[in-house]
């Protein structure tokens, strides 16, 4: 089943104008669905009310898993499964275990974090997230409003409000959403 949803798409030419517009429109009570920009903009997260990403915590957990796996592997194989006398060294030479433990910590943290990021953002080969305006990956800054969620304003009123904050154009975009 699919349904058509309508969105208002405000196109801005400058990131600072966009930032001011976001603050202004949110103060007026408009609900912004998302902003789409060609590059990360400093200060857009608090303006849009986006919470700080918890990915670094995830990376730490993955890293800790990596350390544990590496130590378990080395201690169990060299220390217990088949202890060998290598140059008269102890069977559990912890200094020798540092390099491999470190490498696996980094490997697990990096892969785990990137995997979490791709999953959380729904990115991956074959994924096609909605592009409201293809110019948003070039030099335009896009603000998208769900018309249904901004019922308190008429479409004309909302368009006017967005224009007043400095948008160079405001378009209505219909997206077919599959369920």
Identity of the residue, 154 or 168, whose beta carbon is nearer to other proteins in the bound complex: 168
Q: What is the sign of the dihedral through the CA atoms of 156, 162, 163 and 165? A: positive
Cβ at position 80, least distance to other proteins in Å: 11
Strands 169-178 and 2-12: antiparallel
38/147 with CB nearer other proteins: 38
Query: Please, what is the minimum distance in Å from the beta carbon of residue 44 to other proteins?
Result: 5
**What's the closest the beta carbon of residue 104 comes to other proteins, in angstroms?**
7
**Block residue for tokens 């990956």:** 137
| Beta carbon of residue 3, minimum distance to other proteins (angstroms, whole number) | 20
Residue (118 or 152) nearer to other proteins, CB: 118
With vertex at residue 43, the alpha carbon angle to CA 53 and CA 10, rounded to the nearest 5 degrees, is 100
* 90, 79 Cβ separation under 8 angstroms: no
12 vs 2: CA distance, rounded Å: 30
Q: Please, which residue, 20 or 147, has the CB nearer to other proteins?
A: 20
């Amino acid at each position: 089943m699919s349904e058509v949803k309508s969105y208002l798409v405000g196109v801005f030419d400058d990131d600072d104008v966009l930032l001011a517009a976001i603050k202004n429109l949110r103060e007026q009570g408009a609900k912004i669905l998302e902003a789409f920009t060609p590059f990360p903009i400093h200060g857009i997260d608090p303006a849009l009310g986006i919470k700080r990403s918890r990915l670094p915590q995830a990376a730490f957990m993955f890293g800790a898993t990596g350390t544990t796996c590496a130590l378990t592997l080395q201690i169990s194989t060299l220390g217990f499964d088949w202890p060998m006398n290598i140059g008269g060294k102890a069977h559990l030479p912890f200094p020798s275990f540092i390099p491999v433990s470190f490498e696996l910590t980094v490997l697990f943290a990096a892969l785990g974090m990137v995997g979490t990021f791709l999953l959380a953002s729904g990115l991956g080969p074959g994924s096609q997230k909605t592009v409201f305006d293809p110019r948003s990956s070039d030099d335009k800054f896009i603000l998208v409003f769900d018309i249904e969620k901004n019922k308190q304003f008429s479409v004309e009123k909302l368009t006017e409000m967005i224009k007043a904050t400095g948008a160079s154009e405001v378009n209505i975009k219909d997206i077919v959403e599959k369920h």
